[in-house]
Structure 1
């Protein structure tokens, strides 16, 4: 018991009052978080969770899932005003929060300081993985976007210590969404003649085949045809002469044979360039026009090297403008896909990489 019972007589009735032990509640809150931190420590904790980048917070005693919750709060509401306010987030209890705050006050463990590096190594963008030995040898790249009505591609030229140049972009119209396999082969053969030669070819991973829900048979057929089209086309491109595949001469250090065809994870380009809203990819036209006008990277981020810059010749800008809105959209998607591959896998631009480490 925190105290003892005291018997009092009030209007002929016996009432028992509980005399409780005095508790210092100056630092306690309505949420029940007893803050055993002085003013200086409290200020340090609040400054850390409000000001530091998410990748810097990884070194403290907190999971990636809970950091996502903190990031979401900061984006929606701004700064935390008190230590206990974090308890309002899903997944945070007193014990978890105490460990997190203690690691901020006393500093992270030495082995935790290298945690971000481990996270960086785990980020995989392509299938197969692009080996480090291949990167300096790549001087050209073709990125392809397979849409509902068009297959579009963008051709990039890479020169050391020079801006990357868009050497060309083009499209191929596929009018029928229910092509027989023979017609698919004919169309793919024609596209193969049009697509320029390059060191590597990049396409986005096709949608995963799933059991179709009632009423979605049309969409399932479209996804199947798109997957067939991508498979045939990339096989033809993979059979082209390449320094990375001929005769197995490009064995990497792990003994695997090199490839000139790479599949980029879905929606990477949309996320990098800020056109991924909810679960959908929105129009790329605004981003493309921004790139053509300012020749800058996504969100005007800092460009670490001259090679990260993109030069779009005026003739290719005219080609873009002369097409209808649908074709412009698909041309833009192929361009953004190629830029995403270059910035994440070839140039390894830190401003772009950190978006996918959160």
Structure 2
């Protein structure tokens, strides 16, 4: 319909064509205005997960299906709906029909074999603009903040536990946690990795048991403080509590080992240093490792310089938080099919 209008107007100048195309883009994007943030995420997740056969169930023409998959393979997963405008043959009616079809199906429980419970609890229907991944282990705590949908690393820092006493009183643990909380940037959600037990061997070593217990205490306090801090829980600032004054949870746990499996730092069930893969991952403007099937992230020069100036221990801490943040985005937000399929090959 729009193509006919362009021809009939006889637009010859590049400026005129650009103005007309911008008008068309605004008209097409208006079809998405009634979608909620969660619906957009579900539509994008379907576009990033679906095979050609699954897209046919949405009455998508085969020529468009091929273009959708080719675009996904060439330029990575879809992070915004307006990117569909780049696909030839996408018109106003087509886009509206596609979004309605995908939204209708996306609101139902997924039946695909890739629909796995990567996150506990399930991500609620919230306006997601950013997420902070927090890595907590014996050497220290680190965090990485990724914005959505531009996938930019905006904050990346850590605190070392070198001088932390082996045993702390409840008040000392509380004060330590408050100090960490003040440094963690606010976000819409906070993601930790699910904890693993120290195992039979570790349970026989008092030092490991003590460290594991201490981490558990710090983690429990961080979960409570992140959820109850007005600065960190946006729902409190917006007054979003139910009739029983229950606070909306904003802390989630990603299934253990997902991040190291995605970044190929889990060898024979044991984690190995991530420094080499991180160095390659952060090199160049694209910040995308050719062997790691994940969405491009943007990292500014300052954060890269600060990372490179750290000790090996601190780099490892920072790297674990970044990998956790990327894994959360890939598996729970973008639902990147390539990332999900990579899990099977990493076993």
- TM-score by length of structure 1 reads 0.58
Give the one of 137, 142, 145 matched to 1:155: 145
One of 225, 228, 237 as aligned partner of 1:236 = 225
- Equivalent residue, structure 1, for 2:188: 199
The match for 2:135 among 123, 145, 168 is 145
User: Residues 177, 119 of structure 1: CA spacing in aligned structure 2 closer, same or farther, 3 A cutoff?
Assistant: farther
Structure 2 unpaired stretches of 5+: 1-50, 52-109
CA distance in 2, matches of 1:220, 1:164: 37
Residue 189 of structure 1 is matched in structure 2 by 178
Q: In the aligned structure 2, how far is the partner of 1:177 from the partner of 1:271?
A: 32
CA distances 1:210-243 after superposition (whole Å, capped 9, x unpaired):
6676742221111111111111112111113334
| Partner-residue secondary structure (3-state), 2:218 | helix
1:269 maps to 2:259: yes
Mapped contact 1:148–1:177 kept (Cα < 8 A): no
1: CA distance, partners of 2:160 / 2:293:
37
Structure 2 Cα separation of the partners of residues 238 and 166 of structure 1: 23
Equivalent position of 1:312 in the other structure? 299
Whether contact under 8 Å (2:198, 2:208) holds in the other structure is: no
Q: How much has 1:119 moved relative to structure 2?
A: 2.7
Distance in 1, matches of 2:266 and 2:242, equals 36
> 2:160 matched to which residue of 1?
173
Secondary structure of 2:114's counterpart equals helix
In structure 1, the residue matched to 2:206 is 217
SS at match of 2:283: helix
| Separation of aligned partners in 2, 1:250 and 1:170 | 34
Partner of 2:118: 125
Structure 1 residue 189 displacement after superposition: 0.6
Among 250, 263, 284, the alignment partner of 2:274 is 284
Q: Is the 8 A contact 1:209 1:224 kept in 2?
A: no
| Paired residue secondary structure (2:174) | helix
Cα deviations by residue, 1:282-325 (Å, 9 ceiling, x for unpaired): 1111221122114344544566xxxx321111100111111110
Does the 8 A contact of 2:132 with 2:185 survive in 1? Answer: yes
Partner residue of 1:350?
337
Shift of 1:259: 2.4
Partner secondary structure for residue 135 of structure 2: strand
Contact 1:166 1:310 in 2 (8 A): yes
Contact 2:203–2:209 (CA under 8 A) maintained in structure 1: no
Mapped partners of 2:308, 2:267: distance in 1: 25
Larger Rg: 1
CA distance in structure 2 between the aligned counterparts of 1:250 and 1:311, rounded to whole angstroms? 38
Taking the aligned partners of 1:118 and 1:261, their CA distance within structure 2 comes to: 26
Change (3 A) 1:190 1:340: same
* Change in 2 beyond 3 A, CA 1:301/1:218: closer
What is the DSSP-based 3-state SS (H/G/I as helix, E as strand, rest coil) of the residue aligned with 1:236? helix
RMSD: 2.9
Which residue among 331, 334, 338 is the counterpart of 2:325? Answer: 338
Q: Taking structure 2 as the reference length, what is the TM-score of the superposition? A: 0.60
Compared with structure 1, are the counterparts of its residues 234 and 257 closer, same or farther at alpha carbon in structure 2 (3 Å cutoff)?
Answer: closer
Q: How many positions carry a matched residue from both structures?
A: 230
Give the 3-state SS of the residue equivalent to 1:344 in structure 2: helix
For the structure 1 residues 277 and 240, does the alpha-carbon distance in structure 2 shift closer, same or farther, using more than 3 Å as the test? same
